[in-house]
């Protein structure tokens, strides 16, 4: 694993050194960083999103503990399987994709940050099944090493208004 700078160095994490920056191959939205394994269908995507408001209880607790500092709540980690047909294949040939998702909340900057790993665990056309081990290893290491270096990446929220 190698440390990679995301969003111009505002965030860092570790990603296998062989992973390709998808922006070298195709257009990627400014809010995303996308990396692709060169020898498989494994992908890792980070995205900065507008904060989805909840009841605010966690936000208030975090402000009380660390007043005045931008904070990251989380991550909340989710996993699931998605069945999806690619390339106009019939539903009977749908692939099964493992989705691993981490969500960090940055309430003082009105932002959410996600890190997602997608890994086809079953090829719908051939029936071939793949181990989840590599995907989980890549995901867990990227989540563990995830570090916001520059909160200026997040433009909104009360912290920005007071700056």
Q: What digits encode the pLDDT tens for the residues 14-49? A: 999 999 999 999 999 999 999 999 999 999 999 999
Closest CA to 22 of 44, 53, 49: 44
Closest CA to 81 of 35, 134, 113, 119: 119
Q: What digits encode the pLDDT tens for the residues 47-90? A: 999 987 766 555 555 555 555 555 666 799 999 999 998 888 89
pTM: 0.83
* CATH node for 2-149: 3.40.1000.10
160 pLDDT more than 80 = no
């Amino acid at each position: 694993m190698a440390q990679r700078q995301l969003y111009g160095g505002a965030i860092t994490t570790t990603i296998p050194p062989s992973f390709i920056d998808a922006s070298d191959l195709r257009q990627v939205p400014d809010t995303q960083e996308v990396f692709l394994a060169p020898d498989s269908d494994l992908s890792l995507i980070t995205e900065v999103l507008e904060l989805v408001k909840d009841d605010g209880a966690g936000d208030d607790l975090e402000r009380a503990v660390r007043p005045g500092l931008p904070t990251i709540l989380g991550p909340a980690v989710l996993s699931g399987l998605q069945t999806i047909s690619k390339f106009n294949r019939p539903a009977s040939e749908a692939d099964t994709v493992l989705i691993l998702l981490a969500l960090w909340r940055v309430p003082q900057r009105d932002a959410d940050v996600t890190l997602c790993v997608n890994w086809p665990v079953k090829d719908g056309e051939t029936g071939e099944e793949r181990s989840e081990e590599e995907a989980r290893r890549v995901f867990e290491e990227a989540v563990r090493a995830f570090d916001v270096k520059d909160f200026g990446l997040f433009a909104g929220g009360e912290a920005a208004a007071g700056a």
